[in-house]
Amino acid sequence: MVRRAEPGDAGLTRPVRTCVGCRQRATASELLRVIAVAEADGAGSGQVRIVADPRRRASGRGAHLHPTPACLALAERRRAFGRALRVAGVCDTGPLTEAIHGGTVR
Q: How much of the chain, in percent, has pLDDT values that exceed 90?
A: 69
Helices marked H in the chain: 69-78, 80-85, 94-102
Q: 1, 10 in Cβ contact below 8 A?
A: no
Check whether 67 has a pLDDT greater than 80: yes
Mean pLDDT of the chain: 87
CATH class of 14-102: alpha beta
The pTM assigned to this predicted structure is 0.81
Check whether 45 has a pLDDT greater than 80: no
Backbone dihedral region for residue 7 (phi beyond 0: left; psi -120 to 50: alpha; all else: beta): beta
What is the residue extent of each domain of the chain?
14-102
Edge-to-edge strands, sheet with 91-92 = 62-65, 32-38, 48-52, 91-92
Which value, in Å, is the radius of gyration of the alpha carbons in the chain?
Answer: 15
